[in-house]
Amino acid sequence: MAKVRTTVTIDEGVMKMVRIQAARSGKGDSEVIEAALREHLGLDVLDRLWSREGLPEDEAQALALEAQAFARGEPS
């Protein structure tokens, strides 16, 4: 997927935590921010659904229910 350069204003303390997490994980700041956004927006669940063709029916149903619960804001 293509990447887009953007500018955002982030709380100083939040950015400090991003940098700490990036250093601990060996990733870049952008990778940490993108992963957090993907998780918050539920894209991580969708990515898992789309990447698993041919799942057994019970696993596919469990993932679908997880995505549905996330979309509704229900606790996991």
Domain 1-40 has CATH 3.40.50: no
Residue range 10-36, pLDDT digits in tens: 999 999 999 999 999 999 999 999 999
Residue range 35-73, pLDDT digits in tens: 999 888 877 776 666 666 667 778 778 878 888 888 888
User: In 10 A of CB 32, how many CB atoms?
Assistant: 19
Contacts 24+ apart (CB under 8 A), 43-49: 45/70
Threshold 0.85, pTM exceeds:
no
Mean per-residue pLDDT over the chain, rounded: 84
Q: What is the pLDDT of residue 9?
A: 96
